[in-house]
Every structure is written in structure tokens, then in C-alpha cells.
Structure 1
């Protein structure tokens, strides 16, 4: 069961898994996307994560439009869903159609609201740090949107630990709540966040959303699928580029999963779910079947022995744990 947990210090409660929508548009058609969203919400996955630029295979903004049509399909749906979107990536050809200027943040929010067909964004995330904009400008824009009721909470994505600390220091100087969440890439294969990002999130009371919890499908049985001729996403992009350097570890991982009688995708998600601080994996199913597989991970409780074996296969950075202790002999 996808029980609800506190989302950082916001007072919101969200499911242990969130719905990622990067595949909606180009890889998943609208009818299947709506079935995925229906099934996710029925199982307690009430946080839907998107971005203004998603859907670029059709056109930028398409995914928000698709979600907007789904939200309008039920009078209760908008109140039941925590809508999270992002701003900062390029949305047009103009020099100011990207980044975290006050101009683009406010313009981007208005455009996302129109596409989503709603009057507020529950979690408005900065898609990545913008070194060209000072925090005073960012928080002035975000505060304006919060005061207008167009944004409920502000989050970050792909920030370094020191970006989080700087952002919070600037926000508190203005008497603002600041960031409530950070969304980072984190998996058995991507353990760098354990050094500074996750400790910074804990220190500042941020919830943690995790994108690529299966490293783009590499931890979902990529080698087996390749042998069977069923590899799709795991045969391209992030997964394909990481496979040559990690082939031996992935092979050992799939063998381990077979020995314990569990699907690799379930094991990979279960590992993220077991981490301190209750991170929320953002899964990006292309089909209802993939959603069902992800939900099964909620029923997997890895034993201490199994967790130890996973640490052996995919060791942490340095000696493990946060910096600087990870580097101290």
C-alpha cells in the first residue's frame, strides 16, 4: 500500500512514490497517460511531477496540457493531487525564454497555469541552479507568486548542497520559508548525493524527490531485456551511456535479483525507499504495466543481508556517508 508520509515541513502528505510524466507525449500517448494517472491516484500516488518543457517530442508544454485535461476530468481531482512543475529550462528562442530571472519565473508560472488549467501550482521547482541570477531576484519573484496564491511552495531540482544552503540563507533574510524540497538523481548507481545534497536537505528540512531511481532503466533488468530483445528505454540515453563502465556490476546485480527471486526494478526502487529521510522516488512509467511493477516495490522489504550485498555490488562514494567524513581515513 502506498501509505502517505509527510512531505518535509510543508504539512502536506504524499505517497511513497510520485508520478513522473517525462514520457507523456512522444513515448506514451494521452489515453495511456490518463490510465497511468488514474491508476496512480487510486493507489495513493497523489504527487504528479512535471515540467514546463516536458512533451518536447510533440512541443514544449504538451505534457502540462495533457495533465490539465486529465485534471479537468473530475471535479475532485484537482484537490486530491499535489501538482509539481518546474521552471528554468529554455521554452523559446528569445534571450529571456530561459533561466531564473524574475521575468522568466513569473512569465513561466503564468504559462504553466494556463496549460495546466488550474489557479495554483502546489510545488514550483527551479529546474536547475542559474549562476547568472542573484537569490534576491529569485525570491522576490517567488514571493510575489506565493502572495498572489499562484504558487503554494517552492522547490529546487538538480541543486548542489551549497546551492541549497545559499538559497535558504537568502530566503530567511527576507522572512520567507524558502525551499521545501530538492529533486535529485539518486540510485544504487548514482550515490553522489549522499555526500552533500542529501545532508543539506536534511539540515534545512527539505523533502527529497528522486528522479532516475533506476538510472534510466539500467537497474530494471537491462541486460536480461537486451538478451530477450525487449529493451526499450534501457537501451538508450542515460542507461546506455552508463552500461559500458558498469557492465560487471549490473550483471552481478541482475544475478543477485534472480537469486532472491525479485524483479530488478522492484529491488532498485525498494533500495531507494529504504534510505534515511524517506526520499520519494519519482517513477516515469510508459505503460500501466510499468506502474503496477513500481507499486510492487512498496511491498518489498530488503533484509539487512540483502542491503549489505547491494552495498558490495554498488559501493558508496569514498567510505560512505556525508562529506567530509566519507574521505577521512
Structure 2
């Protein structure tokens, strides 16, 4: 496994981030345990979850991870743990504050819930799952900084922020003489390159590491997209597959020439971008995890990068050059 600093921090994280959204929903607990053990053995130290994950039972994914930690064997000590806050946890005790959003009240309550479910006393990376348009940054940075000072949280990250949200968050943090955001988790793949316009340039400028979610575009960049197996994620994307069939066929042919799987080439393309810390892989099985580990060692040539850019054109130059002089 290879490692990189998370943004401009001194923290080293693995170049693949283990996503756990499938745990408890598409992956039973025993298999989730095997996946986490195998990831740790392979050197993957960066685990991502959210308080709302778990399907019909919100928080269930965190509970699974907590029971895995409870087995001991230095599991907790070896993991850089990231979770998120924002969503509706369907807790009647939240009263009118149960709906999605952020406030000092909700952040403290929901962090306490995450710590209990995860069976830990601290979180390395606590992430806002979405931008909050009602609360001020005075309120948000006040509560987040207090959590950092208490030692229950090491770093603060964001998810699904626009480029200008990142800039504003960092400006407000600088005014308070605090570190601010260290990471932004964003949807990014060969089929979703809009972040190149504003989000990636803003993140790089402000020293924010970008973690890509849905790096395989919901399975469209996986090996089963053109011939989906029954029950696979891509089998539910028939309309999207047909709309992009020509691109996907060219992509499959290129990957065959390279002798690499479609999924690993998609991950390697993300890893080649200096703005990216890691793609989030969300294996449903231990086999899927082990297959994805190969991506870290793939080096795409300049010619291959050019061809990928031809198959999946990006938005052009970063903003404003992409649409101005």
C-alpha cells in the first residue's frame, strides 16, 4: 500500500479509502468483518463511514464497525476513522431538529451517538455530509473547534461542498486562527468530471485533500457494466449504460489492451490526479476488496491518459478559463 498526506496535514492515509456504506445493507456483518481485516492487513488504514449508513436502520453500519473494533488486536489504533454528520437519524429525542442539517446542538448530540455506536472515544476525521445553508460559520467553527480541543475529534472535513463553499469555510477558519477543513469528499470519476472546474482547483489552493466518492460511477466503470450480472449494482443502471454504451465499449477495449480491469483503470486514473488523496472503494465482498488493491500499483502512461480524456472528455480548463478568456 502507498500513503499520502491528507491535505496539508501531517497525517498519512492510504491511497485507497475503505468505504463502508454496504455494511449492514448489502454486506452481512461477518463478511464486513472479513473485509475490514483484509483491508487492514493490506495496509489500508483509511476507513470512511457515516452516522446515517445502515439501510433501514440508521447507524447500523457504525455499530458493525464498533463491534469489529471491540474484538481488539489493535484494530482501532491502526485505523484513521472518518465519519459524517448532517442527516436525519430519525431520533424522536431530536424533536424539531431531527431533519437534515447542522447546528451546534445537533453536532454534539450526533457525535455522541457515533462514538457510542463505534465503541471509541475519538474520531480522526469528522465530516459535514453536506453544506449547511442556515447556520453561520461562527456557529459551526465554534462547535467543531471545541470538539478538537476536547480531543474527541482530530480533524474536520466536508463533503459535497462547492468550490466557493470551500473557500468561504477556509476564510472563516483563518479569521479564527484555526486549521479549518483538511478534506473534501466529492463525487468524481471519469464519468463525472465537473469538479475539475471549481472544486479541485479550490481544494488544491486551500490545501484540502479531495477524497472521491462513487469513483466508478455507480458501477458503470466496472467490468460488469456492459454485461451486468443479475443483482449487481450495474444491472439497475440499464438506461445509463445504453446512453453511454459507445464510451463504455471504447473504455473496455482500452482496458483490455492494458491488461487491466475497467474498475482498476478507473481508480488508477483518479490516483494519478495530484488533487486527489484517495478514491473510496465500497466492496461488498472480500474478493472485490482484494481486486481493487491492484489499482495502487497501476501507472497510466501519458498516451493512455490522453486516450481516456478522449473517451471521457472533461470540462476543459479550470474555471474561469473553461468558459471565459
- The interval holding the TM-score normalised by the smaller chain is over 0.9
Q: Please give the TM-score of this superposition, normalised by the length of structure 2.
A: 0.95
RMSD: 1.5
Q: Which residue in 1 is equivalent to 2:14? A: 15
The structural deviation recorded for 1:188 is: 0.3
- Deviation by residue 1:211-255 (Cα, 9 ceiling, x = unmatched): 0010111100233432xx35601122xx55633432221122112
- Secondary structure in structure 2 of the residue aligned to 1:155: strand
Equivalent in 176, 194, 197 of residue 195 of structure 1: 197
- Secondary structure in structure 1 of the residue aligned to 2:135: coil
- Deviation by residue 1:43-76 (Cα, 9 ceiling, x = unmatched): 111010000000023x000000100111121242
Q: Which residue in 2 is equivalent to 1:234? A: 234
Q: Which residue in 1 is equivalent to 2:212? A: 210
Q: Which residue in 2 is equivalent to 1:122? A: 124
Residue 326 in structure 1 maps to residue 325 in structure 2: no
Q: How does 1:254-269 map to 2 (within 5 A)?
A: 254-269=252-267
Equivalent in 58, 62, 65 of residue 63 of structure 2: 65
Q: How does 1:64-83 map to 2 (within 5 A)?
A: 64-83=62-81
Q: How does 1:269-280 map to 2 (within 5 A)?
A: 269-280=267-278
- Secondary structure in structure 1 of the residue aligned to 2:244: helix
Equivalent in 302, 305, 317 of residue 304 of structure 1: 302
- Secondary structure in structure 2 of the residue aligned to 1:315: coil
- Deviation by residue 1:98-129 (Cα, 9 ceiling, x = unmatched): 31111111111111000001000100000000
Q: How does 1:71-150 map to 2 (within 5 A)?
A: 71-92=69-90, 94-97=95-98, 98-150=100-152
- Secondary structure in structure 2 of the residue aligned to 1:219: coil
Structure 1 Cα separation of the partners of residues 225 and 108 of structure 2: 45
Unaligned runs of 5+ in 1: none
- Deviation by residue 1:19-48 (Cα, 9 ceiling, x = unmatched): 000100120001111111111111111010
Structure 2 Cα separation of the partners of residues 321 and 235 of structure 1: 34
Q: Please give the TM-score of this superposition, normalised by the length of structure 1.
A: 0.94
Q: Which residue in 2 is equivalent to 1:169? A: 171
- Deviation by residue 1:250-306 (Cα, 9 ceiling, x = unmatched): 122112222332210111111111112343011000001110111011121111111
Unaligned runs of 5+ in 2: none
Structure 1 Cα separation of the partners of residues 238 and 170 of structure 2: 36
| Count of aligned residue pairs for this structure pair | 321
Q: Which residue in 1 is equivalent to 2:281? A: 283
Alpha-carbon distance change, 242 to 110 in structure 1, aligned in 2, over 3 angstroms: same
Contact 1:8 / 1:206 at 8 angstroms: preserved in 2? Answer: yes
Structure 2 Cα separation of the partners of residues 117 and 71 of structure 1: 7
Structure 2 Cα separation of the partners of residues 9 and 306 of structure 1: 30
Q: Which residue in 1 is equivalent to 2:5? A: 6
Residue 27 in structure 1 maps to residue 26 in structure 2: yes
- Secondary structure in structure 1 of the residue aligned to 2:87: coil
- Secondary structure in structure 2 of the residue aligned to 1:8: coil
- Secondary structure in structure 2 of the residue aligned to 1:60: coil
